[in-house]
């Protein structure tokens, strides 16, 4: 990946997220007509089997599941380091995705409480939900954790990069759609979650790239900088 691409992706997606937030703020965080229509239609077409399927899909966007994925991403990244020099560096590589997800969660929580957009009416919800609505937490979390795993696979197995990205996209899309279908998020909450996740993942791509480079650099030894054949000890005169 070109060094410029993550910067560009982060700038574009963060900008789009900011525009979306401003538009919603101008409206007083009230839903658009198509959002109200979507939630109402979802509530009217929710047979038990579809509801249960959506609940199962939605479960992967919270709880232990996302953290299992980022721990798997860390394990894959360790395998991508060419001969890591010491276990401490390997541990940093393994924990980098988890730390990045954790920082992203702090950002998302701060934005969600700062914006304070109400959720859809309780009458349309298929499951209970608390807190504010924008951006969708399940959507952001699932997209980031799946994206970090896809980035790790792409670094360790470049030939499987497209397959990994496609799986991550389907995973994140399914969870985002399930949140709207269950009536706990407006459609633009989910869009906001995807945009914020894309920006955060672009930063994660840079972090992982630099972390891998750092982990693979050999540490200087005490003999470096000496002439070949020199031991650093004073020469002894012979006879």
Predicted pLDDT at 56: 93
CB 137 within 8 A of CB 193: yes
Predicted pLDDT at 8: 85
Predicted pLDDT at 89: 75
Please report where in the chains the tokens 């650099």 appear, as a residue. 217
Predicted pLDDT at 190: 96
Instruction: Show pLDDT as tens, one digit a residue, over the chain (239 residues).
Output: 444 577 788 889 999 999 999 999 999 999 999 999 999 999 988 999 999 999 999 998 888 888 999 999 988 888 776 654 566 777 778 888 898 999 999 999 999 999 999 999 988 888 888 889 999 999 999 999 999 999 989 888 888 889 999 999 999 999 999 999 999 999 999 999 999 999 999 988 888 777 777 766 655 554 444 444 444 444 444 44
Architecture of domain 4-216: Up-down Bundle (1.20)
Could you tell me which of 200, 141, 150, 148 has the C-alpha nearest to residue 176?
141
CB 148 within 8 A of CB 204: yes
**pTM of the entire structure?**
0.83
Characterize 93-118 residue by residue with b for buried, 16 or more Cβ atoms within 10 angstroms of its Cβ, and e for exposed: bbbbbbebbeebbeebeebbeebebe
Predicted pLDDT at 2: 43
């Amino acid at each position: 990946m070109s060094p410029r691409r993550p910067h560009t992706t982060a700038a574009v997606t963060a900008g789009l997220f900011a525009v979306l937030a401003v538009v919603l703020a101008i409206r007083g965080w009230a839903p658009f007509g198509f959002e109200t229509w979507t939630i109402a239609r979802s509530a009217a077409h929710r047979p038990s089997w579809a509801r249960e399927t959506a609940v199962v899909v939605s479960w992967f966007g919270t709880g232990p599941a996302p953290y299992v994925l980022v721990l798997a991403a860390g394990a894959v990244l360790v395998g991508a380091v060419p001969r890591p020099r010491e276990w401490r560096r390997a541990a940093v590589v393994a924990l980098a995705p988890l730390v990045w997800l954790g920082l992203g969660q702090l950002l998302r929580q701060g934005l969600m409480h700062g914006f304070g957009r109400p959720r859809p009416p309780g009458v349309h919800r298929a499951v209970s939900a608390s807190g504010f609505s924008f951006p969708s937490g399940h959507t952001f979390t699932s997209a980031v954790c799946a994206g970090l795993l896809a980035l790790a696979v792409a670094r360790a197995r470049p030939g499987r990069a497209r397959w990994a990205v496609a799986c991550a996209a389907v995973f994140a899309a399914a969870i985002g759609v399930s949140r709207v279908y269950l009536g706990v998020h407006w459609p633009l909450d989910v869009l906001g979650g995807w945009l914020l996740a894309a920006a955060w993942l672009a930063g994660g791509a840079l972090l992982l790239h630099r972390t891998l480079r750092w982990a693979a650099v050999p540490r200087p030894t005490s003999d470096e900088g000496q002439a070949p054949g020199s031991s650093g000890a004073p020469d002894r005169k012979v006879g």
